[in-house]
């Protein structure tokens, strides 16, 4: 359900490749496989991929599939800090996607 989601906690896996570059994936979300020169760059590119996937899914009226790697945060629940580890990223819903979500909800 789309209502009240304000952020996701997403677990990414970042590993060093044989050629010295780094690649990042999201085990809970197909289609996120990127590489970068540093772990930080790979993670940033993976986050951009997730934003694109979020936009597409929201336009379809879908959310991300929840799993041990993707946790949806809904209002008024606070951020559960115990779920964070070094590979977790708090991914707030960007304003332009929140607008899509709100518009989509109002038409349902």
CATH 3.40.50.10860 is right for the domain spanning 5-107: no
Q: CB under 8 Å to 91, separation ≥6 — which residues?
A: 7, 8, 9, 10, 47, 50
What is the distance, to the nearest Å, from the Cα of residue 6 to the centroid of all Cα atoms in its chain? 12
Q: Which pLDDT does position 81 carry in this prediction?
A: 55
Q: Domain spans of the chain?
A: 5-107
Residue 70 pLDDT: 82
* pLDDT tens per residue across span 38-77: 999 999 999 899 888 888 888 887 888 888 888 788 777 7
Rounded average pLDDT over 3-24 = 87
């Amino acid at each position: 359900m789309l209502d009240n989601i304000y952020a996701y906690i997403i677990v990414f896996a970042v590993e060093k490749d044989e050629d010295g570059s780094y690649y990042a994936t999201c085990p809970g979300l197909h289609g996120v496989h990127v590489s970068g020169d540093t772990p930080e760059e790979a993670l940033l590119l993976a986050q951009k991929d997730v934003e694109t996937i979020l936009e597409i899914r929201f336009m379809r009226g879908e959310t991300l599939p929840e799993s041990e790697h993707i946790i949806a945060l809904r209002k008024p629940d606070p951020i559960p800090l115990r779920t964070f580890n070094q590979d977790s990223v708090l991914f707030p819903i960007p304003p332009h996607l929140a607008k899509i979500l709100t518009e989509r909800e109002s038409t349902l």
